[in-house]
Amino acid sequence: MATKAASGGAQGLNKSSVAISKGYNFASTWEQNAPLSEQQHVAILALSHAAAERPFPVNLAKDRVSGQENGGLIVSTRDSPTGQSQAIDAVLVNTNQFYKWFTDLESAMKSETEEKYQHYVNTLTERIQTCDEILSQVDETLLTFNELQLQHQAVETKTKTLHDACDRLLVEKQRLVEFADAIGTRLHYFDELENIATNFYSSNLNPGNEKFLPLLKKLDECIAYVESNPQYAESNVYLLKFRQLQSRALGMIRSHVLSVLKRASSQVQAALRSTNGNKLSVSEGVEASVIYVRFKAAASELKHVLEEIESRLSRKEYVQILAECHRLYCEQRLSLIKGIVHQRIAEFAKKEALPSLTRSGCAYLVQVCQLEQQLFGHFFPSSSEDISSLAPLMDPLSTYLYDTLRPKLIHETNIDRLCELINILKVEVLGEQLGRRSESLAGLRPTLERILADVHERLTFRARTHIRDEIANFFPSDEDLDYPAKLERYAETKSEPTVDENMTAFKTWYPPLEKTISCLSKLYRCLEPAVFTGLAQEAVEFCSVSIQKASKLVAKRATAMDAQLFLIKHLLILREQIAPFDIEFSVTYKELDFSHLLVSSVESKILTHLCTAFTS
């Protein structure tokens, strides 16, 4: 057993020496391939000395102690000085301990050979584990990064969505703000109702207040807006309320204008009463300051209100209130001057004849109309050109003259005086005075044209009466038919130089001829062409008939030759005298001739039967 152990130990030593030799060869080869520096050799030497003596394993150290105590075999191994052999220092008691020792020894030798490799394997294993851990951590980190990236993408998506939502909300907010502003702008007109109503129902507000006109303008804007947007809810209700406020405002304006005009009228009337002792001077000076200058002072109080009304004539409400103001103005002015005008025209009628009365009365009315037009222009600058505005004032004033002239015209029978009236009205008044100042005197034109029409009518009637009585129904005397003796006397007086030939020639004419020519020459420039043409045709026809009758009477008194010469002479004179009138004296009579239409017997019977049926 000892031999086996020795041989086993020898084999172990041989194997160990072989391993050492191989290790040495490997180390020498490594040393040659990778030589170490001096410092590295010193370090290796220090490590070799530190590891030269190694302690026994714990279990072997215990066995050694127990073997010594039991008196067994102690086997120990020691390294030889050369380091190539080991001494065995052990105490072996039995075979089991030997095998155990041998196994441990073999394991120790094997572990000494493989220790550095095992250590390297362990180190690599640890490095691998460390790398695996690092890889796992890297994987976890990558997973975390992936999760973070997904979360970042989600956050980015949510942020973008939020940003888009914010943009939409901002756009929606802006739209809503604009919509709210638009609604506020539209509601502003409806909200103004309460404010305007409060101001208009205030006792301190009147058209003379500086706040009145801005409120009225704002009210008109509200009414215009509500009228243009009837689709809004309760627009009809608001429009009705706005119109009620407008009616109240316009009523306040009317009352204000009336009060100012009445106050001015009362001041003028008081001034007139104070001058009651000098009535003549007041009646003659209609343009006196007491009537016009004092009343003109009231225009400054109403200027702004009336100008504002005239600037809004595009709306019918203001047209109506302006017409009402015109009417109130005319009423107040008429109450002041109607007595003076009536008195003055009555004085003219008492003192003067019809032509002079017409001339004086028209001149006086022209003067009054001019002054009234100027005064009206101070109150209503934009309406002064409208002739109908002063009609309520000028028509009654001119009617006084018309009422004064009308009875006198009806009783006037003198054609010459009527022609003079026409000349005064047409040439002097309508032609000269109204022609030069047509705009300011336009209010008198209707009345003057009415007077002229009445004079025309009266002149036409008197002309027809004159033609009938003096021409158509003329009854000649013996002197009127004394031909050719009258011509012989004319020839004798013609040689006298002091006698007017024209006047003497007229005396030789048959009286109806002289009256016809005289009447037509007076009517030619006084009547309308159509009226004059009718009268002229009628007069010429009656004159021709009268001359023919006179010719027959001359034939009875003298010879037939004298009668023919009488007829020819007067007809030639008539044709010569009416030629300058440049009118058509011939009359055309039209008749229908059905004699060429032959009716058959059958048709005649049918017509007879129908006539009988209608007459029965």
pLDDT value of residue 496: 58
pLDDT value of residue 613: 43
H/E stretch holding 74: strand 74-75
Is residue 325 a contact partner of residue 309, using CB atoms and an 8 Å limit?
yes
Is residue 447 a contact partner of residue 358, using CB atoms and an 8 Å limit?
no
Q: What is the DSSP string of 364-417?
A: HHHHHHHHHHHHHHHH-TTTTT-TTTTHHHHHHHHHHHHHHHHHHHHT---HHH
pLDDT value of residue 499: 46
Question: What span, in angstroms and rounded, lies between the C-alpha atoms of 186 and 178?
Answer: 12
pLDDT value of residue 200: 76
pTM above 0.85, yes or no: no
Query: Domain ranges in the chain?
Result: 2-150, 279-295+303-457, 474-581
Reduced to 3 states, what is the DSSP secondary structure of residue 79?
strand
Q: Select from 16, 2, 8, 1 the least CA-distant residue to 80.
A: 16
Q: What is the DSSP string of 86-99?
A: B--BEE--SHHHHH
- Alpha helix ranges (H) inside 424-479: 434-436, 445-466
- Alpha helix ranges (H) inside 201-298: 212-228, 235-274, 279-284, 293-296
Question: What span, in angstroms and rounded, lies between the C-alpha atoms of 257 and 98?
Answer: 152
Residue 455 vs residues 407, 410, 425, 447: alpha-carbon distances, Å: 11, 9, 9, 12
pLDDT value of residue 73: 45
Cβ neighbours, 10 Å, residue 262: 15
pLDDT value of residue 244: 86
- Averaged over successive runs of 10 residues, the pLDDT of the chain (616 residues) comes to 42 48 60 74 76 59 51 46 45 75 80 76 88 88 88 87 89 88 78 79 77 83 82 82 85 87 84 61 49 78 84 84 88 86 88 88 86 84 76 86 89 89 85 67 81 90 89 84 77 59 66 88 86 87 88 85 86 86 64 55 50 43
Is residue 369 a contact partner of residue 308, using CB atoms and an 8 Å limit?
no
pLDDT value of residue 482: 78
Q: Select from 514, 519, 506 the least CA-distant residue to 416.
A: 519
Is residue 322 a contact partner of residue 310, using CB atoms and an 8 Å limit?
yes
Q: Residues 6 or more apart from 220 whose CB is under 8 A from it? A: 246, 312, 315
pLDDT value of residue 614: 38
pLDDT value of residue 13: 43
Q: Residues 6 or more apart from 74 whose CB is under 8 A from it? A: 64, 67, 68, 89, 90, 91, 92
Q: Residues 6 or more apart from 448 whose CB is under 8 A from it? A: 362, 398, 425, 429, 430, 434
Q: Select from 501, 502, 575 the least CA-distant residue to 543.
A: 575
CB-based contacts of 457-461 (< 8 A; 24+ apart in sequence)? 458/409, 458/410, 458/412, 458/418, 459/415, 459/418, 459/419, 459/422, 459/523, 459/526, 459/527, 460/527, 460/531, 460/535
- Which two three-digit tokens encode residue 293? 């200058």
pLDDT value of residue 53: 58
Question: What span, in angstroms and rounded, lies between the C-alpha atoms of 105 and 83?
Answer: 17
- Which two three-digit tokens encode residue 104? 């441990």
Length of the chain in terms of residues written: 616
